[in-house]
Structure formats: C-alpha cells, structure tokens
Amino acid sequence: MKEKLEKLKQEILNNLNKAKSLDVFRELEIKYLGRKGELTKILKGIASLSVEEKKTLGKLANEVKMELQAKFRQAKEAVEGGASGKEFVDATLPAGEKIKKGRLHPITQVQNELEDLFVSMGFMVLDGPELESDYYNFEALNIPAHHPARDMQDTFYIAKETGEETKSPIGDLVSGVSREASDLVMRTHTSPVQIRAMQKYGAPFRGVAPGRVFRSENPDANHDHTFYQLEGLMVDKHISISNLTAVLKEMLSGILKQEVELRLRPGYFPFVEPGFEIDVSCTICNGPGCPSCKHGGWLEMLGAGLVHPNVLRAGGIDPKKYSGFAFGIGIDRLAMMKYGIDDIRLFNSGDLRFLEQF
C-alpha cells in the first residue's frame, strides 16, 4: 500500500512537470484528486485497514495529498502568471522617459476664452478667408479704391503675373515678366467677415469672427506683420451704443477677470458712423496712473462703432429697418495685457522658453 502510494505520487509529479496548459492541470486534478480520482480511491481504501496500518498509512496518504494540492496550485499560478509572476513590481527600476505634453499657444487660449464668452451671450462664431478679395477687405467696407482711408492699413497685395514686359506701379520686374497687383490681398483686418456674415445670414444677426490678419508693417515691440483679431457684429432693430458698451464690458471683464471701465473717444473707421477708439481702465493701477498705462490710467484696446449704412447695404440689409454695432479687437494686445507680455513679436517667435510659460 505504501509503495503504491509513493509510486502514484511520483507519477503525478512527473505529469505535473510536463503539463503546460490550464486544461491539462484541470484534467490531472480530476484524474488523481477528484471524487473518483486514483489518490482518492487509495485514501478511501485506508478505512478497511487495521488500526495500526491506518495510523501510519493514513498520515502518509494525507501528506501526499496536501503536497500534491500545493503543487497543483503552484503549477497553475505559474501558467496564469498570478501573484508570483505578473504582478511583481520592481521598485528599483528607473521611472522611464516622461512623455512631454504639448500645450495651446497663449493666443489660442485667449481666443478660446473669447469664443466661450460670446457663445454664452448668444453670438455665433464665424470663420473667413485669410486671402481676401479687395472688394470684401475694402470696397464693401466703405473704403473705395484710391481713397486715402486705404493708407490706414499697410497691405500685402498678391501679385498677378501678366506676361507683359511692363512694370506696374506696385509690381516689380521678375525675370522679364511684369507683375501687378491682383484683386486679392492678405486680409488686413477681420472686418470683411462682417459683409460675408450679413450676406449669408441676414438680420437680425449676432456673431464674432476671430482670425489671423496681415499688414505690411516694420515689426517692433507693438507691431507685427501677422497678428490676430476678433471681429464682433450685432445687427437688429434699435441697436445703439449702449448695446455695444454693455457687450464690450462683459467681454473685457470676463477676459481680464476683473470689473473694467470703458472710455470712448471719437475715432475714424470708414465702415462705422459714429466710430470710436475704446480704452479700458488700467488693470494694474485701476485709474490713478502707473508705468503700465504711461500714467494715463487708460489702455487703448479696440476700434468700434455703429455699422455705416453703406456697409449694411453691401451686406444686403436695409439700414432704414436695422442698425448694428461692430468692433475689432487685437487678440495679441489683449493677451499681452492679460499676461503682462511686453513684446508682440514673442507670439510668432516659436521660442519655447516663452511658450512654455503658458
């Protein structure tokens, strides 16, 4: 009996060593340790033995059973990759390479905030082309060709190849082919979207159009050839300057995270009448004057006014029935004020030491 037991134990261990899959373990478990298993049969047979034999053999049989059960468990865990395998964490290993997260450009952050503010006031957010026709950029905005108002915005005209060997006033002679200005310009402001919006949606209308604009400027700390604006337009019955100031105050207080006062000065923009230059109370000193506001207490922020009747007409809206306000704000300037940035050229510099601060 004892030998039989030892032999069986050896046989089971051999089979266990060979087994690689869970299915095989389960089969072996049933074959040997199950209710009708071979080891179970031997254990049952012990009952009919003499008291003396029962003592020694019973003990041995139980030991074999326990040993085999433990072996089964271990072998199964090794295959499953359980507690002893898969979950082992080596805390002494180096942490590995950190993945650098990108971030939004400060201008994009301010633009997103502006869009959210206007959407909350029921404005739609519009897009317009950066390469714009002379008609939308100037003509429809009440700035006729040859009018001195065109001088207010230094413009990049797009050249047109004529194939003729003559030199145009604004073109230059490139490899014997003369080039003259086409009727396309890099838009100098976001105002052309006013016309496009009125033509598409009619009145009443509430919308903003953020985007990139271009001017033929010599860059300095306050001017760049490429910058961002947000245009606002609201057309409805009985729109007045108080509607304009209410919306602007809401926007500026929202972005600058403090209550601001507005100051309206008369300003000339051909597409509004009356037109204003609008200043906000200095966010650093709140009025009395400090170096940031050059001791004036006010910071020049944006241009605005009531939409000129000619502009409403160009947009297909009857100025006798409807009126509107429009404004254009420099997003770069707003971001400079919000974050205390002193050079506009940093925005397009691609300098990570600057960009990673936001």
Q: Considering only residues 327, 335, 336, 337, which one is a binding residue for ligand PHE as defined by CB under 6 A?
A: 327
Cα-flanking dihedrals φ and ψ of residue 155, to 5°? -115, 145
189 binds ligand PHE (CB under 6 A): yes
The kind and range of the H/E element at 249 are helix 241-256
What is the end-to-end Cα distance of the chain in Å, rounded? 82
Torsion sign, CA atoms 304, 306, 312, 317: positive
Buried (b) or exposed (e) across 146-164, using 16+ Cβ within 10 A?
eeeebeebebbbebeeeee
**Residue 317 beta carbon to ligand PHE: minimum distance, rounded to whole angstroms:** 16
Q: Considering only residues 143, 195, 203, 326, which one is a binding residue for ligand PHE as defined by CB under 6 A?
A: 326
Residue 72 vs 325, nearer CB to ligand PHE: 325
Label residue 302 left, alpha or beta by phi (over 0 means left) and psi (-120 to 50 means alpha). beta
126 binds ligand PHE (CB under 6 A): no
Q: Which stretch binds ligand PHE (CB under 6 A): 5-13, 50-58, 59-67, 324-332?
A: 324-332
Q: How many residues bind ligand PHE (CB under 6 A)?
A: 11
Pairwise CA distance, residues 76 & 225, whole Å: 71
Q: Considering only residues 155, 178, 191, 323, which one is a binding residue for ligand PHE as defined by CB under 6 A?
A: 191
**Residue 327 beta carbon to ligand PHE: minimum distance, rounded to whole angstroms:** 5
209 binds ligand PHE (CB under 6 A): no
Instruction: Provide the token pair at 240.
Output: 């007045």
Contact set for ligand PHE, span 89-108 (CB under 6 A): none
Instruction: Fill in the per-residue mask, 246 to 275: x = in contact with ligand PHE (CB under 6 A), - = not in contact.
Output: -----------------------x--x--x
Residues in the chain: 358
Tell me the residue number closest to ligand PHE, measured at CB: 328
Q: Determine contact, residues 345/120, Cβ cutoff 8 Å.
A: no
Residue 106 vs 192, nearer CB to ligand PHE: 192
Could you list the residues that contact ligand PHE (CB under 6 A)? Answer: 189, 191, 269, 272, 275, 303-305, 326-328
